[in-house]
Amino acid sequence: MREIRTLEQEPHDAPACWLIDRPHTLTVCRGTVWLTIEGESDDWWLRAGETLELAPRRKVWISASESNSRFVLASAPVFSPTRRFAFYWLLIRFGQRRSRAL
């Protein structure tokens, strides 16, 4: 499952700080968005229609330079260890039943 968030920000709003826990894609829908990514020397300015891939385990500061700037943050689907265990358990169980039927 993916998580998709649509956010809106005004120029007078304080920059939002995000801790990216898994890969995300940021897409600007309207306006211009300014990003500072921890560990990178340059800032990013993205306009409507532009996209940026965000790596996990980084802090990102996001701010708008135009009124009603809107952007979408979409996370990559990630299996949790519990889901991964359940998936492999079902796979093994299904494989055992199938081999018994043969």
Query: What pLDDT, in 10s, does the model give residues 23-68?
Result: 899 999 999 999 999 999 999 999 999 999 999 889 999 999 888 8
pLDDT confidence bin for 9, thresholds 50/70/90: confident
> How many domains is the chain partitioned into structurally?
1
The rounded mean pLDDT for the chain is 81
3-state secondary structure of 21: coil
Q: Which two tokens stand for residue 60?
A: 């990102």
Give the predicted TM-score (pTM) of the model.
0.69
pLDDT value of residue 100: 46
Nearest 5°: CA angle at 14, between 3 and 36?
65
Q: Which domain holds residue 92?
A: 4-101
* pLDDT value of position 98: 46
| Residue 101: predicted pLDDT | 45
CB 52 within 8 A of CB 93: no
User: What is the CATH number for 64?
Assistant: 2.60.120.10
Greatest alpha-carbon span in the chain: 68
